[in-house]
Structure 1
């Protein structure tokens, strides 16, 4: 019972400090270290005997060292490589070319709420290649938002749809998907296609339909009027918003890593084994050659390639550090035994064990994501618990990991302190609370559908 109380207290402390805008990685690190000290004094060693320094205070630091040694060469390098690639795509205008290509068909649709639903679908597709929720939100605010408003969609409805376009962390470029695949003992492409694929298709359809009806209901209830004549956004030129986009064929460049990974995966062609980082390096080389041949300015092209390393460094300070510190926090929770007690209690409920376990993990993940405003922080803090939770009720790890992993991104879109919510609401002049009033009903639908489809397909 003491372990459960300490667990709840630790989660409460993390929530308090994050809400008060303390730096999340260091908060997770410090509370994790405290939990490891507490665990030691209750007779649980911080590290395995073979890794011990033979002094308990140093063993606590050794636990953090072991996590870094395990994460930086693998998952950490993958995330940094993807971030470097994404920043480079933005620097040369390839990301804007992809958005411009995807936006063009939307301009032909004249039904406001059909356009609203399709905007989400298109945005979620782009999110496979532009893996920053804030970055994608800003791109779509500059390009699609004026089009939606000009066709009579209310500012709040348009903002709500754009804020949710990255609500599902899908594909090999998602750090959460990489971690989930690791937990399931699968390569990330197989996890994406066989695990996330069927669940994501159902969830995407439900979110699109949900936006159609929910935003229309809110607009009618609030008496929203078409603001094409009055809103300053409606006068914006979509082409001007995407100024700086590269040539049309640059749109395929952000898709190169995913294309290579799918082709040279066990699902398509087994003869060649291609890792994620190698696929990105190959894609970068191809992109650099194409960029040099297109612009014919070797010096400037070389200068722009600096964005690769800038992106890698930036994501190390923001995401990779968060991952390692969150895992130390999770290790501390495991060592004090509270989570194991809750898992065993759920497993002991014979017929209801699976449902209870799923609900327990979903509630933990959703609350953590809403409180922290980060799907990454929530998932990396608690994901190490999932294999044990799945085995305790006798289900495949994949069946538990997929809905819980997707719920972290979905819940982020319900948080008033999430970066994408703050960015989109700031541009539209809304408050974050006004915005999440529109996103929460749709995201609840998404959680229900993702869980139901996971139970059916996995």
Structure 2
């Protein structure tokens, strides 16, 4: 009984503090430490004899150390490498070239509302180049908005579409996909292309269609209020000289290698880190051949390592803190209690899918995104799935996709606030434009999870 009370207190505190914009990593880390201390006081075993420090209280911090080392060596280095590569591509201007090439043909489309689903689909492709939803929103508001305005689309339609593009595109370069595949025991290729894509790709196309009808309806309903003039100075970024057009391929090199090896050479066992490092050195070599200035090339390439640091502070530390929180719940005995309670429950898998998806939906709405909760709970999924007699992916994948989708209907999410601030409208006006396509997407995710997985 005391274990359940402690767990409820810890989980409630985590929800409340993250919703109140406290630093998620430190909230999860503190909650995990609280639970580990509680487990120590209750006499629960913290470490096996060989790993123990010899002093039980210090075993708490030894456990944290072991989790840090484990996550950094497995998931952490992968995420940091991907962040580093993305940062280097941005420094080279390769991502700007890709955005320019993909968005340039849009101005030729004369039927303005046809642009709505097209822009949405192109934006999902751009997620492969720019994984951050906020960064992508800034770039698209600067580059794409003027194009959409010239075609006659309303400002709120353009903003609504841009605020939803970075959601659930299936990419092996996504940090959450790396974490989920490792935790659930799938290869990254299989997880993304044989499971994730079966749900996310149909959902993206349905959302594109929903955008078409919803934005058209909202323009008709709001009339002139939907058309707003935005100062050009708020849209135009500082211009910079772009590299040759073939540089647009460079950000996709890791993805190309992953797919090529997964399809044509499955016997070759390499991970994302190896392929990303290979892509990095290819890009450095191309830069040297183009510029012939080794010092400048090396100075720019150091951005790769700065980006790795950003990956640690933005994602990896949250993941590690989530693992420590999950370990605290396991050590205090709550996961075992929960597993036993659902072991013989009829339809336990269905109940768990709906409960976990609902929890992450509500958390995402009030906090600006459900990914911190996903990172905090992913390590609990295998045990819960075994108790419910379902595959862990049936629980994890809906949670993961809904965690991303809810970001675009939360008025406190970064991407919503960025678009709203550029357009000088309340965030709720953007949410009105994103709500129906996103909610339809969430329903599609849940339905397809029951059908496909």
TM-score range, shorter chain: over 0.9
CA distance in 1, matches of 2:446, 2:92: 39
CA distance in 2, matches of 1:304, 1:419: 28
Query: Where does residue 204 of structure 1 map in the other structure?
Result: 204
**Normalization by structure 2: what TM-score?**
0.92
What's the C-alpha RMSD, in Å, of the aligned pairs? 2.4
Q: CA deviation at 1:312?
A: 0.7
Query: Where does residue 190 of structure 1 map in the other structure?
Result: 190
Q: CA deviation at 1:115?
A: 0.9
Deviates more, 1:129-138 or 1:73-82: 129-138
Q: What SS does the aligned partner of 1:9 have?
A: helix
- Quickly say closer, same or farther: Cα 1:75–1:235, change in 2 above 3 A: closer
Q: CA deviation at 1:74?
A: 1.6
2:247 maps to 1:250: yes
Q: Which runs of 5+ in 2 are unaligned?
A: none
Given candidates 251, 258, 261, the residue that maps to 1:261 is 258
Aligned runs of 1:112-127 on 2, under 5 Å?
Answer: 112-127=112-127
Query: Where does residue 330 of structure 1 map in the other structure?
Result: 326
How many residue pairs align between the two structures?
Answer: 453
Query: Where does residue 282 of structure 1 map in the other structure?
Result: 278
CA distance in 2, matches of 1:171, 1:212: 25
Deviates more, 1:329-338 or 1:255-264: 329-338
2:289 maps to 1:293: yes
Tell me, yes or no, if the aligned pair for 1:100 and 1:242 is still in contact at 8 Å: no
2:443 maps to 1:448: yes
Q: CA deviation at 1:363?
A: 2.0
Query: Where does residue 82 of structure 2 map in the other structure?
Result: 82
Tell me, yes or no, if the aligned pair for 1:365 and 1:382 is still in contact at 8 Å: no
Q: CA-to-partner distance for each residue in 1:118-172, whole Å, 9 max, x for gaps?
A: 1111111111232111111111111112222332322222222112111116311
Q: What SS does the aligned partner of 1:165 have?
A: coil
Tell me, yes or no, if the aligned pair for 1:124 and 1:166 is still in contact at 8 Å: yes
**Normalization by structure 1: what TM-score?**
0.92
Q: CA-to-partner distance for each residue in 1:7-57, whole Å, 9 max, x for gaps?
A: 333233223323333222112111111112223333423334442223332
Query: Where does residue 57 of structure 1 map in the other structure?
Result: 57
Query: Where does residue 313 of structure 2 map in the other structure?
Result: 317
Q: What SS does the aligned partner of 1:310 have?
A: helix
Q: CA deviation at 1:327?
A: 1.3
- Quickly say closer, same or farther: Cα 1:209–1:7, change in 2 above 3 A: farther
CA distance in 1, matches of 2:443, 2:149: 30
Query: Where does residue 175 of structure 2 map in the other structure?
Result: 175
2:380 maps to 1:385: yes
Q: CA-to-partner distance for each residue in 1:200-232, whole Å, 9 max, x for gaps?
A: 11111121112112222222222245647x443
Given candidates 418, 421, 433, the residue that maps to 1:438 is 433
- Quickly say closer, same or farther: Cα 1:416–1:334, change in 2 above 3 A: farther
- Quickly say closer, same or farther: Cα 1:113–1:235, change in 2 above 3 A: farther
